Amino acid sequence: MGLRQLAAGLVLMACAAFAHAATVPFEDLARHPQYQQVKISPDGRYIAATAVIGDRTKLAVIRLADMKGFTLEQHEIADIVDFWWVSPTRIIYTQGVHDSNYDIPLTDGQLYAVNADGSGRNLLYGYASGNPYYGAGALISAIPDDPRHALVAVSNFDAATSDGDLPVAERMDVVTGKMEKVVTAPTRDASFIADHKGEIRLAYAENNDGNIEVYSRTPDGDWQLMPNAGSHRDLPMGFNDTDTAVYFACNVPEGFGVCSWDPVTRQMKTIWTNPRVTASGLADGPVEDRYIGVNFEDGRPGVALFDAKSQDAQLLIALMQQFPGEDVEFVSSSRDGSKSVVYVSSDVDPGTFYLFDSSTRKLSALLQNAAWINPGQMAAKQPFEFTARDGLKLQGYLSYPPHQEKARNLPMVVFVHGGPYGVRDDWYYDPDVQAMATRGYAVLQVNYRGSGGYGYEFEKAGWKEWGGKMQDDVTDATRWAIAQGIADPNRICIYGASYGGYAALEGAVKEPDLYKCAIGYVGVYDLGLMYKRGDTPESTGGKKFLERVIGTDDAVLMQHSPIGQLDRLKAKVMLVVGGEDDRVPAIQGQNMRSALGKRGIPCEWLYKPKEAHGFYKESNVTELLTRVDAFLQANIGPGVRDSITASTSATASH
């Protein structure tokens, strides 16, 4: 797709009618989202977007006055990872390559810049920039009143140890790349927060013991530890638009909250609370950096407005009324609020970016995240709650096959998320879920203890519970679906990636009569091996993390490793492995395959030598979805149901 086609796509209405068609092809579900980020310039004259063109992610910039612009051609093996407007006419961006730990490109730590008209492209920080290049650079923030400079953080690889590095905040000239040191972080691997005047005011990091350290910077430039914040794991989120307060995600007696900290009085005031879930972020409004509320997800996404009667809040409410049942959010706004980018998405819709013009009150469609997906063909996600065997309240999502929300006794896939800590299943569109639900399966997802979004104590409840209470939560959710009449107890498969791959095989050996099949995707099957292979134990923090979450007793680790319990296995097994996976090395899957073979247990095997911790190449993802579907059909599909019914009838008559 060239610039002409891109510009044409900008003016297409997102609500074009789709004709009813057959089930969405796996090739469409495997495609990378075409437009993942859209940001408007501070003066509202331009928009920039990451656009998948061919097999690369590029940067496209369009002048709104005439819909003309350019597409940035980057290095042939690199993708644009992220970008930021640092002035009305200047963009800083990062490129990335595929890292073996992730299924998406990650930044290479170099910082580039380009003007809004395509001129002035240069490398500000990196191998050939003229700046001493010792490590990764990252943008901290633009400086609204100083378009010539921005704040960046630089990590020095040469000085780094296994305990991490002390990042340095630099004031960078966004044209020449010249840098001037501002301050060194007070603790290793810290993140900085600046106010709108370009002053570094806060720094925070998680230490090797898993505790949060938050520091504020005094007027004379010294760092001061905020012990209250650290002890409560309060995390700074950013300054308000007048720099008179800092928003913190905070724990409060009644559950979870967002607090406002006054830098002058150094007092914290609670401004939002929820008894069950944490804030997922601050809600942007139609003016740059002027927050209007708190985003959270209690089953479905929600927003708690600071002042529901304000003009900004009323505008969001009006937009939400135009899109009932969908999530509506401002994702980028001009400094004066004249123009904003609004993103509308849902569980069945990958999303559309709109342009809102405050002078005309007009909302115009810009770009679709995945225009080839027909929401009418997709499966809706229904939030549910249940109580685990020890009384803990848990939440999850159930996706029925499209238009079969009242169906009962369905074949079901228990789809376990990875992480496991701090990660959660959510309500939004998920192509993996759709690949199964649109083929006739109920798909069950559960936020077991350890998942994110429910507070630190909920996460800690999953420590050293691999194969224990975390696994029981998945089992209890499965049995809940059976008790509700949703799932056919004879046709249930368990599937997951990374930790989810572990949980799939662990579920199959711990509950041998519950699951008819198990699919492990880049999964861990030998817990003890995590200390010896992979990138996690390469740092002190990584080793400490493993000690906290899985323990050090070799006997216990083997008792909770699927590879050590195969004598209990009854389920059919499929293993999916990436040959360049450094997070969970291929040896985990290879050893499991070998152990199954020694016991004469057949195993469906999908190995891609050039893939990493999750497949990225679209053709490989298509093959994965196709092979998973065939495996499910063979083990819990319609034909299996018929054979079970026939077998039951024959037994009864006999």
| pLDDT tens digits along 480-513 | 999 999 999 999 999 999 999 999 999 999 999 9
User: What is the pLDDT averaged over residues 374-392?
Assistant: 97
* pLDDT attached to residue 206: 84
Q: What is the mean pLDDT of the chain?
A: 89
- Give the separation between CA 288 and CA 85, rounded to whole angstroms: 12
- Give the separation between CA 398 and CA 383, rounded to whole angstroms: 6
* pLDDT attached to residue 6: 43
pLDDT digits (tens, 9 = 90+) for 120-154: 999 999 877 777 777 889 999 999 999 999 999 99
DSSP labels, 214-278 = EEEE-TTS-EEE-HHHHHTT-EEEEE-TTSS-EEEEEEETTEEEEEEE-TTT--EEEEEEESS--
pLDDT digits (tens, 9 = 90+) for 75-106: 656 789 999 999 999 999 998 865 544 445 56
What is the H or E stretch that residue 549 is in? helix 540-549
Q: Which of 515, 541, 503, 303 is nearest to 423 (CA)?
A: 503
**What whole-number percentage of the chain has pLDDT above 90?**
75
SS3 label, residue 365: strand
DSSP state of 204: E
SS3 label, residue 623: helix
User: What is the pLDDT averaged over residues 607-612?
Assistant: 93
- All domains of the chain, ordered by start, with CATH? 379-649 (3.40.50.1820)
- Give the separation between CA 363 and CA 395, rounded to whole angstroms: 35
* pLDDT attached to residue 654: 45
pLDDT digits (tens, 9 = 90+) for 464-484: 999 999 999 999 999 999 999
Task: Look at the block and give the residue holding tokens 């800092």.
Answer: 246
* pLDDT attached to residue 394: 98
Confidence of residue 198 (pLDDT cuts 50, 70, 90): very high
- Give the separation between CA 197 and CA 219, rounded to whole angstroms: 14
SS3 label, residue 315: helix
* pLDDT attached to residue 454: 94
Q: Which of 255, 261, 301 is nearest to 278 (CA)?
A: 255
pLDDT digits (tens, 9 = 90+) for 560-603: 999 999 999 999 999 999 999 888 999 999 999 999 999 999 99
**Does the structure show a pLDDT above 60 at 162?**
no
**What whole-number percentage of the chain has pLDDT above 70?**
90
- Give the separation between CA 394 and CA 384, rounded to whole angstroms: 9
The one-letter amino acid code at 56 reads: R
Contact 152, 143 (CB under 8 A): no
What is the H or E stretch that residue 26 is in? helix 26-30
* pLDDT attached to residue 653: 47
pLDDT digits (tens, 9 = 90+) for 401-424: 999 988 999 999 999 999 999 999
More confident residue, 109 or 368: 368
DSSP state of 189: T
* pLDDT attached to residue 200: 96
More confident residue, 348 or 226: 348
Task: Look at the block and give the residue holding tokens 């135009």.
Answer: 322
- Give the separation between CA 553 and CA 588, rounded to whole angstroms: 19
* pLDDT attached to residue 228: 66
**Does the structure show a pLDDT above 50 at 9?**
no
* pLDDT attached to residue 542: 86
Instruction: Give φ, ψ of 448 to 5 degrees.
Output: -65, 165
Give one word for 558, left, alpha or beta, with left for phi > 0 and alpha for psi -120 to 50: alpha
Contact 77, 392 (CB under 8 A): no
* Token digits of residue 384: 């549910």
User: What is the pLDDT averaged over residues 370-387?
Assistant: 96
DSSP state of 137: E
Give one word for 457, left, alpha or beta, with left for phi > 0 and alpha for psi -120 to 50: alpha
Contact 33, 78 (CB under 8 A): no
User: What is the pLDDT averaged over residues 199-210?
Assistant: 86
* Token digits of residue 11: 């003016």
- Give the separation between CA 595 and CA 609, rounded to whole angstroms: 21
